[in-house]
Amino acid sequence: MSSKNADWESILEGLEKAADSPKKDKSSPFGGLVIYGGLVAFGAWMIMEINSVLISAWPNMEWMTPGIGYWDSLKVCAMLGAIGSLKAIVTTAAMVSANRN
């Protein structure tokens, strides 16, 4: 009977030791850039589609260019994403510095 308790104790000790050591997942440093590029490409395509719908709905609209190219919409989405990322970085840094004080 005592040998069974010793077995359970060794199993429980092994589980406790495994829970204490956090496992680090290895990831590619370029994964974020790939996701960012995918989001920018999707956003550029959406801008082109929205522009196409607006132009087809109101063909006499003169204040908007009749069509936007993919390259131009890609640049717009990349700039908006960069501005959003910069805003998030500054906001996070401000929160961290406020928590230190």
Q: Say what the pLDDT of residue 17 is.
A: 67
| Tokens 């989405």 -> residue | 77
| Tokens 């589980």 -> residue | 15
**What pLDDT band is residue 78 in, cutting at 50, 70 and 90?**
very high
Q: Say what the pLDDT of residue 21 is.
A: 53
Domain residue ranges in the chain? 28-100
Distance (Å, whole) CA 70 – CA 64: 16
pTM summary value: 0.59
Q: Say what the pLDDT of residue 64 is.
A: 64
Q: Which two tokens stand for residue 93?
A: 């840094």
Residue with more model confidence, 4 or 84: 84
What is the gyration radius of the CA atoms in the chain, in angstroms?
Answer: 27
